[in-house]
Amino acid sequence: MYKLMLETWPSIRGSCVQLWDLWGGGVWHVGLVSLFLLLPVSPCARPASISGLSGYQGCDLWAPRNSGGLPCGVSGGGAVRDEAGDQSRGTILLILASGIGVKAVQLTPRRWLNLQEYQSKKLMSDNGVKVQRFFVADSANEALEAAKRLNAKEIVLKAQILAGGRGKGVFSSGLKGGVHLTKDPQVVGQLAKQMIGYNLATKQTPKEGVKVNKVMVAEALDISRETYLAILMDQSCNGPVLVGSPQGGVDIEEVAASNPELIFKEEIDIIEGIKDSQAQRMAENLGFLGPLKNQAADQIKKLYNLFLKIDATQVEVNPFGETPGGQVVCFDAKINFDDNAEFRQKDIFAMDDKSENEPIENEAAKYDLKYIGLDGNIACFVNGAGLAMATCDIIFLNGGKPANFLDLGGGVKEAQVYQAFKLLTADPKVEAILVNIFGGIVNCAIIANGITKACQELELKVPLVVRLEGTNVHEAQNILSNSGLPITSAVDLEDAAKKSVASVAKK
């Protein structure tokens, strides 16, 4: 792979000399992610930074949580900016793919904002979508009170976790089912007692399940028919697509596999918006008849408008049901959001429930660091997602396995470097640390000062291999060598990988 890149690169180098110059060694780091296509639409004329590579924002690095063996990809696009940082001078498109890289990426617990059902339903009802009346409770007693207050003929009690499949899940308390129907408020209290504080394991959670902190107590409605409806951003349609099936409620994946003809799609032109005819056709395909057809179409349009308004990447309603009384109701809801829209969806992002995150990810986020846990023993301390993947690749190529990577990002401060080291060394799997920093926006001297301070204060016990390149690198090297600390320095990425793998093997 490495060789392939070396051979391919000169043929495109001519067309983007400026990029080559401004990236210096940087190109090589990125290029090491095995297959690298660089297509400059217009070559830039002045020094620039590549926004698409400096973090997750422009460089899409994705894998669903607990994705197991799902195919994953890495792709990125970024605007090339001049030094002032605000003027777009060209566009580059990057396609990165790698057997080894993807292996590392597959393990990435990248987490998009994902709201709990009760939060999604609140957004829905605020936007005219029909959901059941409900309360949220975080103790059995509160659940009992809520059930009484609902004053409903029948009550549905639902454990709130981010994963689906709750209906068929099992609690660590022994209770079966994360969704229960009852007419008796007392029973709500008893069931909630066996839910809150226990783990609920479903098809979509890790084996040990996810801890339940809250339950939803809602007015149950009779369901005469369950359909499936989702709106998602679909790359192959270049925009939003409506997906529906008259056979909802159950696993939609099974329907898709056994009865693909029962899955209906409507591609939506994001500029024109959803057309009445599309909403009507979907309602009909879902099997809504008579006056229910118009009602369903109206709900579909409202769901689409919500999808756009809140910058969702997915709104999934399963079941999208019908009641014997002739109402179309969203009985379950799952909404995912585009993380890049955080700046204009502050209220929604403020609802982020991080309790289902890895604690270490939360700790890293506090200091504006991105931590990704992997399962090897070499900690990678890097800046930029591209460099992180290249570093993981080259560790693999040299026979090692990364334990994690911690992305410092740009504009880093000394205190962050210290915190980053604290996080990395807290992981008991870590047997060596590889620092691989390319100083573009980042000043290497700041990193070097942070490293020496961290090593002294944390009494670092594992071997540390440092490879710094770029802005202020000589000063940084002086700082490290004058520190008297047992730091192994490396001349390049390959050397760094070899030395860190060797330091682990020696132990």
Q: How far is the CB of 329 from ligand GDP (least distance, A)?
A: 8
User: CB of residue 128 vs ligand GDP: minimum separation in angstroms?
Assistant: 20
- For the segment 272-331, give every residue that binds ligand GDP (CB under 6 A): 318-319, 331
How far is it, in rounded angstroms, from Cα 246 to Cα 262?
Answer: 7
Cα 77 to Cα 59: distance, rounded to the nearest angstrom: 6
Q: How far is the CB of 158 from ligand GDP (least distance, A)?
A: 6
Element (H, E) at 42: none
Tell which residue, 439, 432, 431, 426, has the closest CA to residue 479.
Answer: 439
CA 463 to chain centre: 31
Q: What does 184 bind: ligand GDP, Mn ion, none (CB cut-off 5 to 8 Å by kind)?
A: none
* Kind and range of the H or E run holding 294: helix 291-309
CA pair distance 327, 167, nearest whole angstrom: 22
Q: Provide DSSP, 420-469.
A: HHHHHHH-TT--EEEEEEEESSS-HHHHHHHHHHHHHHHT--S-EEEEEE
Using CB under 5 A as the binding rule, whether residue 117 contacts Mn ion is answered as no
Strand partners, 328: 322
Chain position carrying tokens 């060694």: 25
- Taking CB under 6 A as the binding criterion, the range among 163-171, 293-301, 343-351, 372-380 that sits at the site for ligand GDP is 163-171
User: In this complex, which beta carbon is closest to ligand GDP, that of residue 77 or of residue 167?
Assistant: 167
Catalytic residue status for 304:
no
Specify the residue, 332 or 469, whose C-beta has the smaller distance to Mn ion.
Answer: 332
We find the least distance from the C-beta atom of residue 56 to ligand GDP, in angstroms, to be 29
Smallest gap from Cβ 66 to Mn ion, in A, equals: 18
Q: Does 280 bind Mn ion (CB under 5 A)?
A: no
* Residues in 179-208 at the binding interface with ligand GDP, rule: CB under 6 A: 179, 181
Q: Which parts of 230-249 interact with ligand GDP (CB under 6 A)?
A: 249
332 contributes a contact to Mn ion by CB under 5 A: yes
Nearer to ligand GDP, 131 or 389 (CB): 131
Task: Give CA–CA dist 269/10, Å, rounded.
Answer: 40
Stretch that binds Mn ion, among 12-20, 25-33, 225-233, 325-333 (CB under 5 A): 325-333
* 453 in Cβ contact with 480 (< 8 Å): no
Q: What single-letter DSSP state applies at residue 411?
A: S
* Catalytic option among 316, 361, 431, 469: 316
Is 316 noted as a catalytic residue in this protein?
yes
Of 58, 78, 90, 164, the residue at the interface with ligand GDP (CB under 6 A) is 164
Q: Is 223 in the site for ligand GDP (CB under 6 A)?
A: yes
Longest Cα separation, the chain: 82
Closest approach of ligand GDP to the CB of residue 201, in Å: 12
By the 8 A CB rule, do 215 and 137 touch?
A: yes
166 touches ligand GDP (CB under 6 A) = yes
Q: Out of 198, 228, 367, 371, pick the active-site residue.
A: 228
Q: How many residues lie near ligand GDP (CB under 6 A)? A: 19
* Residues in Cβ contact with 245 at an 8 Å cutoff, skipping those fewer than 6 apart: 227, 228, 252, 255, 256, 262, 263, 264, 286
The reply to whether 318 sits near Mn ion by the rule CB under 5 A is yes
390 binds, among Mn ion, ligand GDP, none (CB under 5 to 8 A by kind): none
Q: Does 332 bind ligand GDP (CB under 6 A)?
A: yes
Whichever of 166 and 499 has its CB closer to Mn ion, that residue is 166
Name, in order, each residue with C-beta under 8 angstroms of 482's C-beta and a sequence gap of 6 or more: none
CB of 180 to Mn ion, least distance (A): 14
Q: What residues numbered 110-139 form the site for ligand GDP, per CB under 6 A?
A: 132
| Nearest by Cα to 262 from 281, 279, 286 | 286
Selected from 156, 212, 231, 493, the binder of ligand GDP by CB under 6 A is: 156
Rounded to whole angstroms, how far apart are CA atoms 293 and 54?
A: 48
Where are the alpha helices (H) located in 168-241, listed in sequence order? 185-193
Distance CA 265, CA 497 (A): 48
| Minimum distance of ligand GDP from residue 332's CB (angstroms) | 3
| Residue 156 touches which member of Mn ion, ligand GDP, none, C-beta under 5-8 Å by kind | ligand GDP
Please report whether residue 49 would count as binding Mn ion according to CB under 5 A: no
Residues recognised as catalytic:
228, 316
Q: Note the residues at the interface with ligand GDP (CB under 6 A).
A: 132, 156, 158, 164-167, 179, 181, 220-223, 226, 249, 318-319, 331-332
